Structure 1
């Protein structure tokens, strides 16, 4: 509703009275910024409104009542979540991505200066598995190099000793969800044939196989991990 109203206002000419700014002393009317220090905002990326009560009850159960103070739906599919401590909210961000009925529940730290329409919910942190790597190249260094082709590298997973990654390389990246999901990376080696390295995304929400973007209901299981 607010977005459509703002769009309509953009086509109008305003009177001098309408353009007079209302000057306020923020400290006198604003909720203290520290009240948001342990809070996140979240939006379930669904094409239609969901049952906000069910969303709140589910994540209260998953995230534990002693760590979650309130989950409030302040707009359809948009929630303000207050935690008992900043370590609780940080931990929830690190454990993502989260989903509700396979729809991505995007989360960001609450910004007291931002309106509910100012959050982009653009980046998703997710674990990616990179397959078909030669045994001699199963290293953390290559995981970082190839992971950077998918998104901003957050951390790599060295599951075995001596830097050996086992069957596949595994790296956690911050993924730009406005771009199609990448399906592979091509590994080029000097004096050797290039290798196609398929990607698998762990706990990936609904996405469209046609355009590769997250948020559509047309799912494809060919390179997902449930």
Structure 2
């Protein structure tokens, strides 16, 4: 709505009175910036409009141990989420991606200087499994190199929960959801035949940027 209104205003000529700026003191009218330090904004990236009240009930229950204070529906599919501390907010981000009715519930840190239209919700942080790696190369160093072909590497994991080396490496990456999902990476070595390494995304929700 706001985008279309701004586009229409771009074709108009304004009077001198309309162009006079209204000067305000930020601290007098704004919510304190500290209040945003423990907040997230979220959007369900889905074609249909979702039931906001149902989403609020669901995630208040899921995040109760992370001391969520409130979830407010700002606009259709768009929410402001407040936590008791920045640590609680960070814990929720680390455990993502989240979904609602199988659609991606994208989260970003709240910025006091942005409008709801400034958030792109374009990047997802997710664990990716890299298969078909020779045992001698199951290292965190190679996981970082191969993971960088998918997105920005956040952390790596080359062992299963019991401490044994698994049949794949895991790497947590931040990737651009506006691009097609990468399905494999080719591992090339001077002393061996190149091999194709399939990629498997963990807990990948449905999402649409169409």
Instruction: Please tell me the TM-score bracket, short chain as reference.
Output: over 0.9
Matched, 1:93 2:93: yes
Q: Alpha-carbon deviations, 1:147-181, whole Å to 9, x = none?
A: 000011000013259x9742001000111112111
SS in 1 for 2:158: coil
Matches within 5 A, 1:114-129: 114-129=114-129
SS in 1 for 2:127: strand
Runs of at least 5 residues in structure 2 that lack an aligned partner in the other structure: none
CA distance in 2, matches of 1:130, 1:65: 32
Aligned to 2:153: 153
Aligned to 1:43: 43
**Alpha carbon RMSD of aligned pairs, Å?**
1.9
Matched, 1:131 2:131: yes
Aligned to 1:140: 140
CA distance in 2, matches of 1:102, 1:5: 33
Q: Alpha-carbon deviations, 1:180-209, whole Å to 9, x = none?
A: 110100011114221111100001111xxx
TM-score (structure 2 length as normaliser): 0.93
Asked whether the equivalents of residues 122 and 176 of structure 2 are also in contact (C-alpha less than 8 Å), the reply is yes
SS in 1 for 2:182: coil
Asked whether the equivalents of residues 66 and 88 of structure 2 are also in contact (C-alpha less than 8 Å), the reply is no
Deviation at 1:216, TM superposition (A): 6.5
Asked whether the equivalents of residues 133 and 197 of structure 2 are also in contact (C-alpha less than 8 Å), the reply is yes
Deviation at 1:70, TM superposition (A): 0.6
Moved segments of 4+, more than 4 Å: none
Deviation at 1:120, TM superposition (A): 1.5
TM-score (structure 1 length as normaliser): 0.87
CA distance in 1, matches of 2:192, 2:105: 43
CA distance in 2, matches of 1:2, 1:116: 10
Report the structure, 1 or 2, having the larger strand content. Answer: 2
Runs of at least 5 residues in structure 1 that lack an aligned partner in the other structure: 207-213, 218-226
Asked whether the equivalents of residues 36 and 112 of structure 2 are also in contact (C-alpha less than 8 Å), the reply is yes
Matched, 1:67 2:67: yes
CA distance in 1, matches of 2:13, 2:143: 55
SS in 2 for 1:96: coil
Aligned to 2:180: 180
When the two structures are aligned, how many residues end up with a matched partner?
209
Structure with the larger RCO, 1 or 2 (CA within 8 Å, 6+ apart): 2
